[in-house]
Amino acid sequence: MLANKSLIKNIIRSILNNKKYFLFLLLISVFSFSLLLCNNSYPKDMKNTITNFYKNTNSFDVYLSTNVKFKQSDVKQIKDLKIVKGVSLSKELKVKANIKNNDYDIKAVSINPKRNLKDDDYINRLTLSSGKYPSTINEGLIDEKLFERNNLSIGDLVVLTISDNNKLRAKKIKIVGTVKNSLHVDKESKSEKENHYIYLEENNFTDEYNEMYITLNNDSNYDIYSKEYKALIKNGKKEILKVIEPIISDRKKDSILYLNDELESKKDTLNSLYELTLPEESLNNDIEKINNKISNIKKEINSLENDELYSSVKISSSGFKDYKEEVNSTNKFLYAISILIFVASIFLSTFLMCKIVIKDTNENISLKALGYNTLEINAKYIIFIVLSQVISFLIIILLLEKIIPIILWMYYKKIYSIPFIKPNIKIYPVVTLLLVNIAFIILFINVYFVYRKKYVKNM
């Protein structure tokens, strides 16, 4: 019992006398393990975070846009396809927003009035991060980044301007809430005045729907980075276009015919005004109004004639592609480096432990003289190693679960509009690595001293 107490005191004294080595050993383990586990786990976590984000927001698979406008009847036509799960129409406009005397080119998006989370047609669901949803056309939601960059407060006003003022009923918008962008993972532009959104009540828009978002059946069963998912949405887009292209083409022809009739009618009205003998000021006002209407009709005809049905899929966005490359490159390149660093850390830890043993040579001779056997003396170093690894284990768990995810998120959120990266660290691999590390350090120390003993004898 007395011998055991003396041995424990000796172990404590050894740690205190070699605290620099103990600290180095601990830091080496923390760094090498964290790097290896991060590069093994976080690429998967980054991928899972985005996959869950798309799933929770019911993100679109296929996107369509046209100036010809969509109708509710189109939704039924698309939903009749077996491959289609949900369809959502949206009214969207490019507008200029004046915020605290700064102008931003942003996109005004209509808020889906049907926000039932169980409804497949509620696509690109908004995630309200503060405030509330608008209750009138004079209220709106703004994306978090624009809100934060301008130090806005709930209740502040944003003034919107657009080339055709008739397309929005209310242009002075009171901010009543903020949202996380749910359209897709945007890669941030170098200009802070791009990639921003304001969400308005649907009845604030006077035009019909110009955007359509579609989800496909069984899309959540696929890895969004897989070839199978790519084939699914390619096939889905092909089937959808077969249905919608003829509809839009016929509607385009009908719209152009109608507008041409309107144009001729306005021209006739204008000609008749020139023949009237009304007061000059009143007549000039009427002529100006008709000329403005003629100009707007011509612009609309020109827009329709040059319009093509635009189609895209989720995986074609630059943000999606770049984020995918980030995940893949991180996984391959850094993982290889982290394995090399882990192996190097084992040899470095072995080197430090060997220095401690050599440093304690005289003390160990004294311990043998006092009756301690080799196993009892070696136990001091084994406990020294194990204790350093257990402490490093606790630090690693703290780093992987709390600190590193925050650092990663703070870095990537500056480049991409993504939610917080949730770690999914499993304890088993960490414990396995620690045990392997302890075993190899002890093994290499013994190999070194066996070799050293033989070498000294041969000398």
pTM score = 0.69
Q: If you ran DSSP here, which 8-state letter would residue 205 be given?
A: B
Alpha carbon distance 455, 442 (integer Å) = 20
Q: What is the pLDDT of residues 120-153, one digit of tens each?
A: 999 988 888 899 999 999 999 998 888 888 888 9
Q: Which residue has the higher pLDDT, 457 or 52?
A: 52
Q: What is the pLDDT of residue 262?
A: 86
Alpha carbon distance 119, 109 (integer Å) = 20
Residue 288: half-sphere exposure toward Cβ, Cα within 13 Å = 6
Alpha carbon distance 5, 133 (integer Å) = 69
Q: Which residue has the higher pLDDT, 98 or 361?
A: 98
Alpha carbon distance 204, 93 (integer Å) = 11
Alpha carbon distance 263, 294 (integer Å) = 6
Where does 210-279 have alpha helices with state H?
Answer: 227-274
Q: What is the pLDDT of residue 62?
A: 92
Q: What is the pLDDT of residue 79?
A: 92
Burial of residue 375 (number of CB atoms within 10 Å: 0-12, 13-18, 19+):
exposed
Average pLDDT of 288-312?
84
Q: Which residue has the higher pLDDT, 261 or 454?
A: 261
Classify 279 as helix, strand or coil: coil
Q: Report the Cα 220 to chain-centroid distance in Å.
A: 17
